[in-house]
Structure formats: C-alpha cells, structure tokens
Amino acid sequence: MTATVQVLTEGYVGERVAGTVTLILDGDVVAVVDPGMVADRRLILDPIAGLGIGAEDVTDVVFSHHHPDHTLNAALFPRARFHDHWAIYHDDVWERRDADGFQLSAAVRLMRTPGHTRQDITTLAETDDGLVAATHLWWNADGPAEDPLAEDLDELRASRGRLLALRPSLIIPGHGSPFVPVEDTAR
C-alpha cells in the first residue's frame, strides 16, 4: 500500500510569508503537514473539501517545527492527533515519543532532521512515484543553500545529506513548490 500526497497550498517568503501545506492520505490516515500561515484559511480547507474530506476527518497534523508560519492553523482540525519532534498531542493527552522513525501509517513515517531548528522533523511518504519528503530543510527549490535562520548549519547540511541518501523522488519544501532533487541539490 502506498500513500497519496497533495500540496494544498504552496508557500512563499518575501514581503509576506506563507508555509507550504501538504495533505497525505494512506488508508485511514488523513494527515496535514504544516498547517501554518496562509493568505486565507480556505486555501487549506477548500482543496480538502474538494476531495470529500471535512476538517473533522483529518486524523493527524504534523509540525515540521514550531514556527507560527507552519503551525498557525492547526486548530482547524479538531479531532486530529498532533505530532512534533518529541510527542503526540490529542485533546488533553501528551504522549512523549521520539519522532525519528515513528510510523503514522504503513507508508508514512517521520524522520528527525535538525538544522533549521533543533526540533525539525521531515514527513516521509512512500507513493507510487517514489519517496516524497515534506521538509523544511529547504525553503524552496533554490535553497537557500545557506539557510539564514538555521540554528545549526552543520546539522542542516548533515540532515540534508541523510534525507538525500534516501533518494526521494520529490521534495516538498517549507515555502515553495515541490521539486525533484538533482545531483547538485544544495547539501
């Protein structure tokens, strides 16, 4: 069984900022990755509704890290479990666990990828077209090669190398369009 991945809204950085928001479907799992800042909440909710999925049907929300541009709209999904680098949160339950290797479903798992922040994680989805990575290791297809807000550039480079070693077929960056990694993708 493989997952289906759809970018709900592509992020951007400039005078205004929005995070890339991604939907991943795998069996009973309906996951939204980084439901952060967008120009209008309908940019998140309308594409989901177009698939016949209500906000209350979302089972899981994953935060790549805790910056508001990636978390601001989490409350749109009232029944979801929320995942970050060290726990799962659901209603009033805080279940500690390391995200690294945690399986949301048979085809979807989390990977610890520090660098931008020490708590960054990447969501990996096995699809019919190969491995898809929703991550903030890159802001967009052009990098930046040196993340100006990275807490640790050496960790960022190491995390990029570990992710690229998995040979993802597609990378969904934190603030841009999905891209196919190539040999010179910034490490």
* pLDDT, tens digit, 9 for 90 and up, residues 83-119: 999 999 999 999 999 999 999 999 999 999 999 999 9
With 80 as the cut, is the pLDDT of residue 1 above it? no
Q: How far is CA 64 from CA 52, 75, 95, 129, in A?
A: 26, 16, 18, 23
Output the pLDDT for position 143.
79
With 70 as the cut, is the pLDDT of residue 66 above it? yes
Distance in angstroms (rounded) separating the CA atoms of residues 64 and 147: 15
With 90 as the cut, is the pLDDT of residue 186 above it? no
> Which helix (H) or strand (E) is 108 found in, with range?
strand 108-112
* pLDDT, tens digit, 9 for 90 and up, residues 5-26: 999 999 999 999 999 999 999 9
Average pLDDT across the chain, whole number = 96
The domains found in the chain, sorted by start residue, are 4-172 (3.60.15.10)
With 70 as the cut, is the pLDDT of residue 187 above it? no
Output the pLDDT for position 75.
97
Output the pLDDT for position 145.
86
